[in-house]
């Protein structure tokens, strides 16, 4: 099964390109400390330099090397994306699994909660939460901006995973192997975790991958508006927050951070697409039918 | 069907109630608050804060405030500050809080409460929030209706053709473009558009920037269609990109489901032209799920496109909300959140009803 998925995934050119580009971005961000420049220290004699060999992406209003800041910002943005994925999985998978497996009243209660969360206008609530958290004076929140923002985004995004998982569990729990396990005396917990979950994992992996891209976009928008990661900590979004004022004279400040968001999001989306095809058993049949 | 609608409406009431409590608590209990002195150069002194708190009713416990917000306070006596004789009501907060200009009186409350359609007055402008929302909504709807018309004009043919010619060059280009469109951060696309059409490209005759960078029209100019159109181009383009990729992708996959069905083959076998088969027979059924998606997208249309409006200083709902979130203008925030939540709940119901109406195979009970 695993080999089959990998074989199908390999045949998706977009997904492979996505993997390559994303690996390059992740690698560059991890190796950002090799840069000769400091991402925080201002250097007023070198303000607003246009892109050159010394500063491939130019310098910003405080004379800091933009490329160094973009790479450090990438760590933050990618970390937010990854944390949101983990948070949506941690909330969404158990909720969906329990609701789908047990059904009845538990299902009803959990799904009503999910519906209520879905009825919230998510972007508006996100902005509100961002505006509030900006003023909370808790040391934990201040020292862990990534986790804070990831939590805010994740708490408004787990519902989709929950619904997806519930749908899979609803189908799989009726299958014979589940009845067989139950007849052999397998506990509910064992069935949910060890028997059904491996069979429901495909769509969850796809959804989780796309969740990273979605979270990177959300974080960048939120930080762009000033409600996300607060400067001086760089993130791809807040590097753009003053870009509109600089647009006339210093356009590179607006171009490069956005380009990085775009490249990583499109890579992740292609990887997600490749995974979807790879996990979808019908896909190969239809393609073969047409060829 | 009738029973189903009634039951869903009845279910919506407690849902709305719970959400409103949650939102009210979130808005009102958060630290910071409207009196933290943002946006004003002066820090408020404790005396001024106390006066403002009384004026806004913030001196009451939050549960009392919620009740007043919900059902009004005209059934109870309120302590109210009225302007001292000879002092006009000023719209700015700083002027309003000079203690000498106000007298304390006790009078009947005037708030009617949300249930009777009164969302209160904005802290910022001291005018009814519904008035601001109406104006902002008109501006958002103006932008959105033009955006969506263009989206429909582009997305429908593109979606149909790329499904009919699956894996053709056209399809590959469209699919790639839609991946690109979905990965571009919306606000960054706007920045790039401004960079190209305002900063880089100039009108060859006058040397002015080709397109304006924001606003609905040139300030102080009499109405001219050209001026209004010029101001529309960039915001509409920015909005169209996201929606077109979303709808054309959706229509493509829904068309793909339809054109492999028997009745399409029958229609072709009867000798109908391909155009007729695809655009008349197949498209009708492929649009079914799209109608649902559109109904589910209604709240976004009501909320306006936040990033577009902020980037292009468009005086719509999104920008109104953004400003209210910065000011922590509680009545404004609550009004917009409540209205949009209502729209979300009803558009979900609408989606189900439309779907059942259009597709006779679906029954609710």
| pLDDT digit string, tens, across residues A223-279 | 999 888 888 889 999 899 888 888 888 888 889 999 999 999 999 999 999 998 888
Q: Which of A121, A128, A227 sits opposite B299 (nearest CB)?
A: A121
**pLDDT value of residue B41:** 46
In Å, how far is A136's CA from the nearest CA of chain B?
Answer: 6
Interface of B with A in 159-188 (CB under 8 A): 167, 179-180, 182-188
Quote the DSSP letter at residue B223.
P
Cα separations in angstroms, A167 against A98, A171, B41, B134: 11, 7, 54, 41
Please enumerate residues of A whose Cβ is less than 8 A from a Cβ of B: 14, 112, 115-116, 119-121, 123-125, 127-129, 131-132, 134-137, 213, 217, 220-221, 224-225, 227, 237, 240, 243-244, 247-248, 251, 254-255, 258, 261-262, 265-266, 269-270, 273, 290
Shortest CA distance to A72 belongs to which of A41, A38, A47, A48?
A: A38
Quickly state the pLDDT bin for A90 (edges 50, 70, 90). Answer: very high
Chain A contact present for B9, CB below 8 A: no
What is the C-alpha separation between A166 and A171, in angstroms, rounded?
9
| pLDDT digit string, tens, across residues B87-111 | 444 434 444 555 555 556 666 667 7
Shortest CA distance to B285 belongs to which of B263, B306, B270, B305?
A: B263
- Mean pLDDT estimate for chain A: 87
- Dihedral sign for Cα B331, B333, B338, B339, please: positive
Please provide residue B102's backbone torsions phi and psi, each rounded to the nearest 5 degrees.
Answer: -120, 145
B-chain residues near A124 (CB < 8 A)? 303, 321, 336-337, 340
pTM listed for this prediction: 0.87
Q: Which of A115, A137, A247 sits opposite B199 (nearest CB)?
A: A247
8 Å CB contact of A128 and B333: yes
| pLDDT digit string, tens, across residues A167-213 | 999 989 888 999 999 899 888 999 998 999 988 888 899 999 999 99
8 Å CB contact of B303 and A121: yes
**pLDDT value of residue B321:** 92
Q: Which of A128, A244, A261 sits opposite B311 (nearest CB)?
A: A244
Q: CB within 8 A of A172, min separation 6: which ones?
A: A178, A196, A199, A200
What is the C-alpha separation between B290 and B247, in angstroms, rounded?
8
Six-digit token string for A267: 């890579």
8 Å CB contact of B321 and A262: no
Q: Quote the radius of gyration of chain A (alpha carbons, Å).
A: 22
- DSSP E strands, chain B: 77-83, 102-108
> Could you give the residue ranges of the DSSP H alpha helices within chain A?
2-10, 13-30, 66-102, 104-119, 122-133, 139-143, 145-155, 158-172, 176-183, 188-190, 197-224, 243-246, 252-279, 281-290
What is the C-alpha separation between A276 and A283, in angstroms, rounded?
9
């Amino acid at each position: 099964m695993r080999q089959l998925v990998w074989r199908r995934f390999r045949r998706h050119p977009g997904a492979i390109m996505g993997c390559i580009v994303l690996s390059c971005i992740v690698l560059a961000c991890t190796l950002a400390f090799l840069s000769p420049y400091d991402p925080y220290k201002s250097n007023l004699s070198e303000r607003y330099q246009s892109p050159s060999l010394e500063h491939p992406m130019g310098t910003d209003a405080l004379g800091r090397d933009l490329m160094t800041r973009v790479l450090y910002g990438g760590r933050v943005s990618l970390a937010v994306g990854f944390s949101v994925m983990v948070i949506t999985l941690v909330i969404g998978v158990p909720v969906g699994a329990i609701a789908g497996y047990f059904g009845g009243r538990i299902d009803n209660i959990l799904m009503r909660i999910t519906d209520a969360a879905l009825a919230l206008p998510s972007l508006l609530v996100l902005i509100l939460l961002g505006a509030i958290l900006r003023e909370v004076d808790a040391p934990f929140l201040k020292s862990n901006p990534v986790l804070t923002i990831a939590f805010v985004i994740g708490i408004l995004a787990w519902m989709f995973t929950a619904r997806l998982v519930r749908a899979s569990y609803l189908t799989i729990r009726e299958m014979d192997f589940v009845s067989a396990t139950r007849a052999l005396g397998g506990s509910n917990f064992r069935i949910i975790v060890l028997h059904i979950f491996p069979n429901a994992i495909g769509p969850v992996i796809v959804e989780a991958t796309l969740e990273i891209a979605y979270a990177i976009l959300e974080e960048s928008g939120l930080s762009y508006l000033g409600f996300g990661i607060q400067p001086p900590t760089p993130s791809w979004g807040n590097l753009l927050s003053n870009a509109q004022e600089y647009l006339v004279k210093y356009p590179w400040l607006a171009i490069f951070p956005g380009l990085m968001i775009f490249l990583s999001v499109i890579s992740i989306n292609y990887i997600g697409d490749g995974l979807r095809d790879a996990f979808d058993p019908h896909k190969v049949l239809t393609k073969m039918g047409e060829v | 069907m009738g029973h189903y609608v009634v039951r869903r409406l009845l279910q919506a009431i407690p849902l709305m109630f719970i959400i409103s409590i949650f939102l009210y608590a979130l808005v009102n209990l958060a630290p910071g608050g409207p009196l933290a002195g943002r946006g004003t150069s002066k820090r408020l002194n404790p005396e001024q804060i106390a006066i403002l708190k009384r004026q806004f009713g913030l001196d009451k416990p939050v549960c009392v405030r919620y009740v007043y917000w919900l059902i009004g306070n005209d059934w109870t006596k309120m302590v109210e500050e009225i302007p001292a004789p000879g002092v006009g009501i000023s719209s700015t907060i700083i002027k309003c809080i000079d203690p000498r200009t106000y007298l304390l009186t006790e009078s009947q409350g005037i708030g009617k409460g949300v249930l009777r359609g009164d969302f209160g007055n904005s802290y910022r402008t001291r005018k009814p929030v519904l008035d601001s929302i109406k104006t902002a909504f008109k501006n958002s709807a103006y932008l959105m209706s033009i955006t969506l018309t263009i989206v429909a004009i582009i997305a429908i043919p593109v979606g149909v053709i790329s499904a009919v010619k699956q894996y053709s060059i056209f399809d590959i280009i469209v699919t790639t473009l839609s991946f690109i469109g979905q990965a571009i951060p919306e606000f960054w696309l706007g920045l790039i558009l401004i960079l190209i059409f305002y900063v880089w490209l100039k009108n060859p005759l006058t040397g002015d920037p080709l397109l304006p960078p924001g606003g609905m029209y040139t300030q102080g100019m009499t109405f001219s269609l050209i001026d209004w159109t010029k101001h529309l181009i960039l915001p509409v383009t920015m909005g169209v990109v996201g929606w077109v990729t979303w709808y054309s992708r959706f229509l493509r996959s829904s068309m793909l489901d339809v054109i492999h069905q028997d009745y399409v083959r029958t229609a072709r076998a009867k000798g109908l032209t391909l155009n007729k088969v695809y655009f008349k027979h197949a498209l009708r059924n492929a649009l079914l799920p799209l109608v649902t998606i559109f109904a589910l997208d209604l709240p976004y249309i009501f909320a306006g496109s936040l990033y577009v409006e902020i980037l292009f200083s468009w005086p719509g709902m999104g920008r109104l909300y953004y400003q209210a979130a910065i000011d922590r203008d509680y009545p404004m925030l609550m009004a917009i959140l409540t209205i949009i939540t209502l729209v979300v709940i009803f558009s979900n119901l609408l989606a189900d009803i439309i779907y059942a109406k259009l597709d006779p195979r679906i029954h609710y009970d």
